[in-house]
A = this chain, B = another copy of it.
Amino acid sequence: MCGKNDLFCPWYKRNHAAMQWDTRFAARTAYMKRSTIREILKLTARPDVISFAGGLPAPEFFPVERVQEAVDLALSERGQVALQYSTTEGMPELRELIAARLSDARLTISPDNILITTGSQQGLDLIGRVLVDEGDRVVVENPTYLGMLMAWRPYALRYIPAPTDTDGLNVDALEPLLQQKPKLIYVVPNYQNPGGFTLSVERRERLVQLLARYEVPLVEDNPYGELCFSGSPRPSILSIDANNLGISTPDGHVIYVGTFSKVLSPGLRIGYVVATEQVIDKLVQAKQSADLHSSTLDQFITYEVARDGFLDRHIAHLCEVYRERRDVMLAAMERYFPAEVSWSKPDGGLFLLVTAPAQVDTTELLAEAIKRGVAFVPGADFHIDGGGQNTFRLNFSNARPDLVEAGIQRLGDLLKEALAHPVK
C-alpha cells in the first residue's frame, strides 16, 4: 500500500490526475455565460436553414479588392511599422481620420479624444471596467443590446429598463428613473438592435437636458448610424449634448462608441471610443492591460480604405443594397404574416423586431422554425424586464433576397398555426 500523498504511488497518481477546476474559478464567472445568439447561430448553420438570426454584414459586399490594395500599400511602404507593436491609443492617422469624420460645424473632435479598440465590443468592455462598480444601477432601453449585457455581466449591475416606442427611448418616462441615481445611461440611438427604432432629434434634445440636470453620463453606442436608408443621419447625442452645454468639444456627458465592423469589415475588429480626454486616459490604461493595442495592420488597412473617400462611396452602396433587402423582407411580411402580428419598419441598420400576440412564445416557436428551415432570434433575452417572450428579431442585411420570400412564408405559416392552436 502507498502512504498518503505518495507521489510515486500509482493509485495516488491515477486519482489525482485532474485538477478540480470547478472550485477554482473566480466568483464573477458565475455571471458569465455564452452568448445566446452565438449558440443559436451554431444550430442554424445547416445549409437548409434560411437564417434571419445572425447580425452579420453581407460578405458579398466586402470591398475585398480595396482591402487588398490597402494591404499592398501598407506592407510595401511601411511594412516594418505595420507589423510592429504600436501605441495603445491607436494609429495617429486613423484617429485623425475618425476625429475629422465625426466633427461637424458644432463639434470639434481631436485625435486625443479617440481610442482605437478591438471592435466596439471592446469599447463596451473597457467602459465597464473604468466606470461601473459591482451592483451599480444602469438605465438601458428595453429591449436592449445583448453585447452590452454580456460585456457588463461580471459586474452584476442592476439594470433599470426605460420604455421605448417607434421614436426610441421614451424620454418622458426617463426622468423618474434618473431619480434612482444610475451610474450611467446606455443607448443605441440609431436603428437599434433589436428594436430597429431610432431616437428622434426632439427626444435627443430633451435627453441631453436631463443629462445636464442629473449630471449622469451616457454611453452612445452607434454601430449602425451610417447605414441610413433615407434622409441624412441625425446628429449624435454627443454633439447635441455639447451644444446644449455651450461647448464645441466632446467634454460633456457622453461617451460615444463607434466601429468599422458594419461599414467595412467586422473581421478586422477595428472600433473606437470618443470621449473627453480624462475618460480616454482611463480607457487607455484599461486597454493596455487588456490587449496592449489593436492590430497594427488592421488599423493601417482601415485607414487606407477610409482616407480618400472610398469608404463613403462604399457606405452609400451598402445603404442602397440593405434598403432593398429591407424592402423585400417588409413586403414579404405584409404578404405572409397574420394580421395580429406587428413589426418595426427601420429606416436603416440591420434589424427589425416582430411582435406577436401575447400568447405566442417565440423561444418555443424557434425550435419548430428550425425544423422547418428558418431561424430568428427570440426576443426574451433582449428584454430586461422579463417581457418580450412574444417578440423576435429578424436580420435583413445578410438575407439573400431570393430566399427571403420562402423564409418569411415559412415563418408566416408558423405564426398562423401558433395563433390558431396556441401551445401551452
Q: CB < 8 Å: which of B24, B32, B68, B80 contacts A71? A: B68
Q: In the complex the two chains form, what is the Cα distance from A150 to B284 in whole Å?
A: 12
Min CB gap A272→B, angstroms: 13
Q: Which positions 46-86 of chain A face chain B at CB distance < 8 Å? A: 56-57, 59-60, 62, 64, 67-68, 71-72, 75-76, 79-86
Min CB gap A253→B, angstroms: 5
Min CB gap A350→B, angstroms: 12
Chain A binding surface SS class = helix
Q: Does A154 contact B (CB under 8 A)?
A: yes
Q: Does A285 contact B (CB under 8 A)?
A: yes
Q: Are A67 and B59 also in contact (CB < 8 A) when A7-B212, A125-B290 are?
A: no
User: Are B129 and A291 in contact, CB atoms less than 8 angstroms apart?
Assistant: no
User: Inside 8 A of A190's CB, which chain B residues have their CB?
Assistant: none
Q: Are A289 and B151 also in contact (CB < 8 A) when A267-B84, A269-B295 are?
A: yes
Q: In the complex the two chains form, what is the Cα distance from A288 to B148 in whole Å?
A: 11
User: Are B131 and A25 in contact, CB atoms less than 8 angstroms apart?
Assistant: yes
Q: CB < 8 Å: which of B68, B84, B217 contacts A62? A: B84
User: Inside 8 A of A21's CB, which chain B residues have their CB?
Assistant: 217, 276, 278-279
Q: In the complex the two chains form, what is the Cα distance from A245 to B292 in whole Å?
A: 36
Q: Does A294 contact B (CB under 8 A)?
A: yes
Q: Does A410 contact B (CB under 8 A)?
A: no
Closest to A267 in B: B296
Q: Are A133 and B16 also in contact (CB < 8 A) when A38-B288, A289-B121 are?
A: no
Closest to A14 in B: B246
User: Are A289 and B75 in contact, CB atoms less than 8 angstroms apart?
Assistant: no
User: Are B245 and A16 in contact, CB atoms less than 8 angstroms apart?
Assistant: yes
Most interface-central of A24, A253, A279 (chain B CB within 10 A): A24
Q: In the complex the two chains form, what is the Cα distance from A27 to B76 in whole Å?
A: 46
Besides A19-B252, A28-B133, A268-B296, 9 more A-B contacts (Cβ < 8 Å) are A17-B245, A17-B247, A57-B84, A119-B291, A121-B290, A125-B290, A125-B291, A147-B289, A267-B297
Q: List 13 A-B contacts (CB under 8 A).
A: A5-B213, A19-B251, A24-B131, A34-B284, A34-B288, A59-B80, A59-B83, A62-B79, A83-B268, A84-B265, A153-B289, A154-B289, A297-B297
